[in-house]
């Protein structure tokens, strides 16, 4: 086995997105991940279209590098198998409703008693004390994120991706807890919830409220604190320009042949440009009308000005390919979005495709019934 987390055994009792995304990232980094599914399987196995070879692309997107084991935790024999797995695991991730893990015999108190070094991560919607179920869309709404997304307050919308789930998956601080365990020999419980992750992920917007009492509103693609930082029309399609400082703004004005703007008191510094956003937009739009978005992107990019057209997903993947980032990999012939990690000494590996439901139940059950050895953890 290779990878930064080679030899780490992860018991994945999670389903849908936040937990499976977190455990897939751990698997990419070399951990052995055993995905425990109820007899019906993870809900996302049935979420389609789209389908690929009869399998949900949603499920395949977050479940590579895992073994699948079907266990009915309401049955005594399967519950005993799950508990044997937890005694041998380094990490456990679950997103049951509050109280369910304890009722099914896989809660933190019992697991930690049998395996004091276990790092046990619970992902919830609103915290361990709230028994209310949560979905990404609801958390985007109640967190205030939806109020920030849209052209204005009358056209608010959700983010185009399930951002609350993804943020929660990224916030699952498993590696930090493993480092603590290596130093002290003690595991611990990690609690991650979608609401807190979303509030944290809104960074400067929640920070503006916490520090200045300012409640931000939807502004489309514009930025409340930076200008120019939004899409502008060109001869064929919009181009996003993000001049985040006075030097970049001056360079933008040179390329657009607007040499007088940096000295204009309305636009001299960023605060002034934000205050006179509409006037500046009219002047920039007039100059940008003479060339296409791609032509401007090349000219502005050469001058060090951050910019880019609004691509669809295909365009985003194509850009990553042109940049040499290899955004798509094949795992046993199944196309997958590549891991975002690049590690020089312990690179990520793609060892297993997303598993069929219960494909490894018999093998893992036999393995758990055998004696525990150091080599077993990297099976």
Q: Any idea which residues carry the catalytic annotation?
A: 165
For the chain, state the CA radius of gyration. Answer: 25
- What does the alpha-carbon distance between residue 11 and residue 205 come to, in Å, rounded to a whole number? 36
Eight-class DSSP state of 36: E
Question: CB 53: neighbour CB atoms within 10 A?
Answer: 8
Phi, psi (5° rounding) for residue 334?
A: -105, 120
| H helix intervals, 185-245 | 194-201, 203-212
E strands, the chain, where?
9-13, 32-37, 51-52, 55-56, 66-70, 91-94, 119-124, 188-193, 229-232, 239-242, 307-309, 328-331, 334-337
């Amino acid at each position: 086995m290779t990878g930064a987390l080679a030899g780490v055994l992860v018991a994945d009792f999670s389903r849908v997105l936040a937990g499976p995304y977190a455990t897939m990232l751990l698997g990419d980094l070399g951990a052995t991940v055993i995905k425990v599914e109820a007899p019906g399987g993870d809900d996302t196995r049935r979420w389609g279209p789209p389908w690929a070879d009869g399998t949900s692309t949603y499920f395949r997107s977050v479940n590579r590098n895992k073994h699948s084991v079907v266990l009915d935790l309401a049955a005594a024999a399967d519950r005993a198998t799950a508990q044997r797995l937890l005694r041998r695991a380094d990490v456990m991730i679950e997103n049951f409703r509050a109280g369910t893990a304890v009722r099914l015999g896989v809660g933190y108190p019992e697991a930690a008693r049998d395996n004091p070094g276990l790092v046990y991560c619970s992902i919830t919607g609103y915290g361990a004390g709230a028994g209310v179920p949560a979905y990404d869309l609801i958390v985007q709404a109640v967190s205030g994120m939806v109020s920030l997304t849209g052209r204005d307050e009358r056209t608010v919308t959700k983010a185009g991706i399930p951002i609350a789930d993804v943020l929660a998956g990224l916030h699952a601080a498993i590696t930090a807890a493993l480092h603590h365990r290596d130093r002290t020999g003690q595991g611990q419980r990690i609690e991650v919830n979608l609401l807190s992750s979303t509030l944290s992920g809104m960074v400067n917007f929640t920070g503006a409220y916490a520090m200045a009492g300012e409640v931000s509103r939807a502004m489309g693609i514009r930025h409340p604190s930076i200008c120019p930082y939004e899409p502008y029309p060109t001869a064929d399609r919009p181009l996003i320009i993000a001049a985040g400082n006075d030097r970049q703004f001056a360079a933008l004005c040179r390329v657009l042949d607007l040499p007088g703007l940096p000295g204009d008191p309305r636009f001299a510094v960023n605060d002034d440009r934000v205050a006179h956003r509409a006037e500046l937009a009219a002047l920039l739009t007039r100059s940008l009308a003479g060339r296409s978005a791609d032509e401007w992107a090349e000219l502005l990019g050469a001058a060090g000005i951050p910019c880019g057209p609004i691509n669809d997903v295909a365009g985003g993947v194509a850009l990553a390919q042109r940049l040499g980032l290899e955004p798509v990999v094949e795992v046993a012939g199944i196309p997958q979005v590549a891991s975002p990690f690049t590690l020089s000494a312990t690179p990520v590996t793609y060892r297993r495709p997303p598993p069929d439901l219960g494909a490894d139940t018999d093998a893992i059950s036999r393995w758990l019934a055998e004696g525990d050895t150091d080599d077993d953890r990297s099976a």
